[in-house]
């Protein structure tokens, strides 16, 4: 039999639970980091803790940006680009592991996702409407290959086999930042949240009993959506030809580059990949964009746990096998 004291205690804790749940609400924050919009939204019953969690997410995004930006001349990645052709450069475990994963995903995507694309990529400036000259392009193409990046796991060093090799993690670092941020939220006991960096999102839990709904943008209408995807404990990444681009003589020059031609990939307008991990969905969405509809969907169908939606150059949507109507 429960004593009166025990009953009073359980009524009291029950009331506490009811009031704290009744006080729970959504909190959100948006900032411009890593050259894009970063946002976090979470459900919590304590405003101070929610604010602390959002501060941590924002600091984490800044930390990763300082490590991996090629726009910051003192970032760890810029040090690699400046020195790795001459000597093996020792890097942090975090940067080493991300480069290692990026190279592995290069193999998975049959070379479509290639971080050495940057040898030609560095000659593009989408704000200024600048593209590489033919000479620059040909010189760069001869050094674009993931084989030109040599990793030494024992002392976590990176070395380039040739002069002129450059690497850029723009197609994978946002996914990494989103995963890291979600890990922090989980460690703080948050059960329901979404973290987004540009086109890459990772959700924690569900949206109060329902899946989260993440919109897929209409590639040719800024505020239009073509679909809303339900996601739960998953990541979703979209790569689009509308993120960074300019048009000249009716041709769209945008930020996703074919490593074989050094030109923007133009067979599709956007690719969305859904899967268990934002680092992989980020790199795969970029890689599938380069591969195009047929080869890209074939690749996704060959992988467990990943699905994709491709919007082709005519605006038509195509789905991987698991998302086809009736699947």
Binding site for ligand AMP (CB under 6 A): 113-115, 117, 121, 168, 170-171, 199, 239, 243, 255-257, 259, 282, 285-286, 290
Decide whether 67 or 290 has the Cβ nearer to Mg ion.
290
Are 193 and 40 in contact, with CB atoms under 8 Å apart? yes
Report in angstroms how near the CB of residue 287 gets to Mg ion at its nearest.
8
| 3-state SS, residue 149 | strand
Angle at 17 between CA 14 and CA 20, to 5 degrees: 150
Q: Looking at the DSSP assignment, which residues form a beta bridge with residue 26?
A: 43
Partner from Mg ion, ligand AMP, none binding residue 76, C-beta < 5-8 Å depending on class: none
Binder of Mg ion out of 171, 219, 262, 275 (CB under 5 A): 171
Are 203 and 230 in contact, with CB atoms under 8 Å apart? no
Gyration radius of the chain's alpha carbons: 22
Binder of Mg ion out of 282, 300, 307, 311 (CB under 5 A): 282
Task: Give dist(CA 67, CA 73) in Å, integer.
Answer: 10
Q: Does 285 participate in binding Mg ion (rule CB under 5 A)? A: yes
Which segments within 162-224 are labelled E, that is strand?
193-197, 200-204, 212-217
Backbone φ and ψ for 50, nearest 5 degrees, come out as -60, -45
Decide whether 61 or 115 has the Cβ nearer to ligand AMP.
115
User: Interacting stretch for Mg ion, rule CB under 5 A, among 30-38, 120-128, 170-178, 297-305?
Assistant: 170-178
Among the listed residues 52, 105, 39, 75, the one whose alpha carbon sits nearest the alpha carbon of residue 284: 105
Binding mask 20-59 for Mg ion (x = CB under 5 A): ----------------------------------------
Decide whether 75 or 272 has the Cβ nearer to Mg ion.
272
Are 127 and 140 in contact, with CB atoms under 8 Å apart? no
Are 124 and 258 in contact, with CB atoms under 8 Å apart? no
Other Cβ atoms closer than 10 A to 312: 15
Report in angstroms how near the CB of residue 239 gets to ligand AMP at its nearest.
3
Decide whether 245 or 319 has the Cβ nearer to ligand AMP.
245
Partner from Mg ion, ligand AMP, none binding residue 306, C-beta < 5-8 Å depending on class: none
Binder of Mg ion out of 109, 148, 272, 286 (CB under 5 A): 286
Write out the residues near Mg ion by the rule CB under 5 A. Answer: 171, 239, 282, 285-286
């Amino acid at each position: 039999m429960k004593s009166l004291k025990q009953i009073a205690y359980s009524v009291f804790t029950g009331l506490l639970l009811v009031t704290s749940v009744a006080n729970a609400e959504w909190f959100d924050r948006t900032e411009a980091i890593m050259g894009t919009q970063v946002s976090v939204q979470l459900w919590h019953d304590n405003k101070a803790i929610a604010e602390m969690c959002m501060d941590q997410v924002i600091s984490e995004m800044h930390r990763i940006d300082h490590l991996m930006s090629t726009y910051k001349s003192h970032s760890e990645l810029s040090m690699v680009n400046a020195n790795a052709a001459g000597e093996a450069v020792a890097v942090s475990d975090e940067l080493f592991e991300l480069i290692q994963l990026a190279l592995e995903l290069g193999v998975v995507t049959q070379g479509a996702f290639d971080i050495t694309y940057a040898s030609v990529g560095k000659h593009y400036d989408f704000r200024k409407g600048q593209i590489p000259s033919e000479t620059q392009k040909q010189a760069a193409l001869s050094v674009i290959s993931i084989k030109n990046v040599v990793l030494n796991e024992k002392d976590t060093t990176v070395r380039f086999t040739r002069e002129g090799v450059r690497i850029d993690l723009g197609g994978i670092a946002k996914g990494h930042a989103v995963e890291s941020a979600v890990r922090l939220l989980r460690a703080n006991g948050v059960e329901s949240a979404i973290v987004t960096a540009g086109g890459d999102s990772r959700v924690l839990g569900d949206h109060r009993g329902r899946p989260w709904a993440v919109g897929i943008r209409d590639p040719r209408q800024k505020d239009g959506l073509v679909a809303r995807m339900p996601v739960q404990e998953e990541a979703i990444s979209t790569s689009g030809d509308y993120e960074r681009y300019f048009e000249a003589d009716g041709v769209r020059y945008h930020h996703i580059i074919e490593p074989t031609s050094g030109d923007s990939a133009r067979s599709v307008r956007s690719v969305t990949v859904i899967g268990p991990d934002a680092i992989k969905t980020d790199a795969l969405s970029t890689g599938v964009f380069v591969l195009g509809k047929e080869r890209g969907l074939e690749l996704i169908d060959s992988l467990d746990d990943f699905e994709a939606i491709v919007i082709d150059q005519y605006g038509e949507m195509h789905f991987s096998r698991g998302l086809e109507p009736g699947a």
